[in-house]
Amino acid sequence: MWTGGFPEPLTFSLRARRHLAARAGQFDVVHDNQTLGYGLLGLERLGFPLVTTIHHPITVDRRLELDAADGWKRRFSVRRWYGFTRMQKRVARRLPSVLTVSGSSRREIVDDLGVRPDRIHVVHIGADTGLFSPDPAVPETPGRIVTTSSADVPLKGLVYLVEALAKVRTENPEAHLVVVGKRPQEGPVATTMARHGLEGAVEFVKGISDAELVDLVRGAQIACVPSLYEGFSLPAAEAMATGTPLVATTGGAIPEVAGVDGETCLAVPPGDADALAAALTRLLGDADLRRRLGAAGRERVLRRFTWEQAARGTVEQYRRAIGASARAAARR
């Protein structure tokens, strides 16, 4: 780590393997959440059926960060940090079963990591539709647009939403943005906010409870997902579950979650601030459209993206892995 690398996927997997080897027979299945470290290989010979989730290949993040890198030093730093992706490719190809969260991620795993398609199983993530639900008692805040952005990285596309907000405010001065995430002190988002004089129109909130987050989304006129790429987009599903109308890009798996443009959301191309601004302006000015999209969005989530459905699909893969491991043990 002192030299700019990220060894944790490897070192964690080795620690986990040592820990599991000392506890043989105590677990029915091991579920790895995208570590993809060398320590995972051979776990089944130790008696541990293995299921691995890959939300999306980290090679996608690497590619987008390299595209956005300014200068050779930054590009060298990005390549150095993402060095662990070589290991993840090698490990992923040797796994008996991979769980992923969308058809888009499935295609990326095949193309980027070289995993055989028949080894990949799609189980969509679920939203907590009991918590993320409409509440007419929460007042709508005029002009409020809410988004979630955990970090100022190119993948999240926040800079394009900030650019769009500046354009929206020329016609709708009360439009403002609430970002669930940490305020960047420097970088493209901070620079864009300063250039357009948006300090008073963009608020960052972090460390809030789930209940506070739900009310924040319920009180918004629009929820927005401006990402260049997502392997699924839980924020889109959660916003839709509250009945808040959604503007989202078509990056990665977002269309699988958000649905058809004009029916359950307004969809725009990723990285297009003008298209974002046009969609936001249209939705802010049309209360009937907001109500229609909000209701249709919640119905879509209830049909397709609940935690019960996610749990059932995951359990099915656990049973497959346990059965395959038992058959392999019987042959040995």
Q: Which domains are delineated in the chain?
A: 8-125+308-327 (3.40.50.2000), 144-305 (3.40.50.2000)
pLDDT score of 28 more than 70: yes
* Predicted TM-score (pTM) of this structure: 0.86
pLDDT digits (tens, 9 = 90+) for 143-165: 999 999 876 677 899 999 999 99
Average pLDDT over the chain reads 93
Collapsed DSSP state (helix, strand, coil) of residue 296: helix
Name the percent of the chain lying above pLDDT 90: 82
pLDDT digits (tens, 9 = 90+) for 200-248: 899 999 999 999 999 999 999 999 999 999 999 999 999 999 999 999 9
pLDDT score of 118 more than 80: yes
How high is the pLDDT of residue 91? Answer: 96
pLDDT digits (tens, 9 = 90+) for 196-209: 999 889 999 999 99
Tokens for 259? 């649905």
Q: What is the DSSP string of 162-229?
A: HHHHHHHHHH-TT-EEEEESPPPSSSHHHHHHHHHT-TTTEEEE-S--HHHHHHHHHT-SEEEE--S-
